[in-house]
Amino acid sequence: MYKVLVSDPISEKGLAKLREAGDVEVDVRTGLSPQELAAIIGEYDALIVRSQTKVTAELINAGRRLKVIGRAGVGVDNIDVAAATSRGIIVLNAPEGNTISAAEHTWAMLLALARQIPDACASLKAGQWDRKRFLGVELAGKVLGVIGFGRIGSEVARRAQGFRMHVLAYDPFLSLERAEAMGVEMVELEELFRRSDFITVHTPMTPETRHLIGERQLAMMKDGVRIVNVARGGIIDEAALLAALESGKVAGAALDVFEEEPPPASSPLIRHPRVVVTPHLGASTVEAQENVAVDVAEELLKALRGEAFKNAVNLPSLRPEMLAKLRPYLDLGERLGLFLSQLVSGRLHEVEIAYAGALTELEVTPVTTAILKGLLTPVLGDEVNVVNAPWLAKERGIRVAETKVANGEDYRNLISVQAATDREKVQVRGAIFGKNEPRLVQVDGYDVDVSPEGYFLVTRHLDKPGMIGRVGTILGEAGVNIAAMQVGRREMGGRAIMLLAVDSAIPAEVLERIARVEGIQEARLVHVAVDGSR
């Protein structure tokens, strides 16, 4: 008999799944203090939480019998995943249960915005009958831009077709075949900004998507564009949006999420007459709460019984001795994937991974998964983990090829990852040095030697005198400190690559200045940081 503790309120349907199992004893004890929870957790095989309970390393270590931790929802930032993984405890979430609710709330917000429903309702309830004031716009024949074409974005697009809207879709991992099957037009982000009458965002919040819509992007848009955000606060620069509303560039916005939650009551954006707001209600439906509770209950039961399960956010299924051998390569693989994802341009359609040297004697499938997680994370954020990364790649039409070769060249182990897009092929290589130290040893055929951690300025440029000095001067004037430098070239005066490890992020305007330096062909900021959940 397994004992399961539910420490946060979840739907009764989820509890019923557990109680009907026959081999599970369920205790629902909500509102416990951290001390009270730590005092009893040692009796339980599994723990189910939502966002209230903080599952710290101390609590995990007190759970002597714990085998599974389930989160009835998507985010697991209230769970110390690394501590759970080190104990071999499975951490599950329920990422799919709120898909329909979030898509429907997007449409509720979009329609309310188009027809000024909140203000019209308030006006009539105040005793006014002012039909002329609330002139709306039709959706039929308009262009809807959907940024992020995962589960929620694709559901939003399906409903747009019912309104006879033309849908533009932007997602770096969206294949042409899937776009055609969905009846949407696949475009680059700037084209979406220029052509859309309505724009809705459905991306996770990552360093790459923070302020994805800012002053520069708003300036590209049509006059009178309307913008909806039911995804994550921070994807839209709120100060820039407010300025665009005040100028009339943006006709209206509908926001369910904010950079600061709850937002200040005095926020001029919240109070703006052409802004529709709700307090983060995207998943707040009876059905969504039931779905996430049922999903996590079903997968938790499978995990306890040793059956195949999905939606794990860590990698507990390897034998401890194999995990110990693979851990350095899992870390290196994810870092290589992260680095490459931010270096390559275009729509990814193929990934080729080659293992050489001592690695060929190990089971490398988990390393391939870690590489895919790194590749997909800058775009998909928390949606991707080491369990679902291969499935998400396959769903987006990305072909993955894995090979082993005996020769590790000058390295006792070597991982090569090449990404092919509709524009280019780029390869990175990495190896483990010394005491399990990950190193980036080659970028696009140029030899380098750096630790793949932190911020990097990566330039492709012509090898000519003064290039390094000019870039260094721009960074110095911007207060960005250079920690290390690597320059790779094949021949004097030809094409070269430069990697500058820097202590902080480089502002977009500084990056643009560097890109304009004579001889610079491309300048990119790459940020490599892994969560340590293995």
Separation between Cα atoms, residue 6 and residue 136, nearest integer Å: 47
Q: What are the phi and psi torsion angles at 277 (to 5°)?
A: -130, 150
Query: Is residue 208 within 8 Å of residue 216, measured between CB atoms?
Result: no
Beta strand 495-502 with 454-462 is antiparallel
Q: What are the phi and psi torsion angles at 5 (to 5°)?
A: -105, 130
Phi/psi-derived region of residue 127, left when phi > 0, alpha when psi is between -120 and 50, beta in every other case: left
**Pick from 477, 484, 339: nearest CA to 418:** 339
Question: Would you call 280 a catalytic residue per the annotation?
Answer: yes
Question: Would you call 261 a catalytic residue per the annotation?
Answer: yes
CB within 8 A of 163, min separation 6: which ones? Answer: 139, 140
DSSP 491: S
Element (H, E) at 389: helix 389-395
From the candidates 280, 327, 470, 495, give the one annotated as an active-site residue: 280
Within a 10 A sphere around the Cβ of 507, how many other Cβ atoms? 13
DSSP 430: E
Decide: helix, strand or coil at residue 295: helix
What does the H/E/C string look like for 160-208? HHHCCCEEEEECCCCCHHHHHHHCCEECCHHHHHHHCCEEEECCCCCCC
Which of 171-200 are b and which e, b meaning 16 or more Cβ less than 10 Å from the residue's Cβ?
A: bbbbbeebbeebebbbbebeebbebbbbbb
From the candidates 50, 71, 178, 232, give the one annotated as an active-site residue: 232
Phi/psi-derived region of residue 436, left when phi > 0, alpha when psi is between -120 and 50, beta in every other case: left
**Pick from 464, 413, 465: nearest CA to 439:** 413
CB within 8 A of 498, min separation 6: which ones? Answer: 457, 458, 459, 461, 467, 468, 471, 485, 486, 487, 488
Question: Would you call 188 a catalytic residue per the annotation?
Answer: no
Distance, first Cα to last Cα, the chain? 29
Around 407, how many Cα atoms within 13 Å sit in the side-chain half-sphere?
2
Query: Is residue 272 within 8 Å of residue 243, measured between CB atoms?
Result: no
Q: Angle formed by the axes of helices 12-19 and 286-305, to 10°?
A: 20
Please state, in angstroms and as integers, the Cα–Cα distance from residue 491 to each residue in 459, 495, 510, 520, following that order: 17, 8, 29, 17
From the candidates 261, 321, 491, 509, give the one annotated as an active-site residue: 261
Active site residues: 232, 261, 280
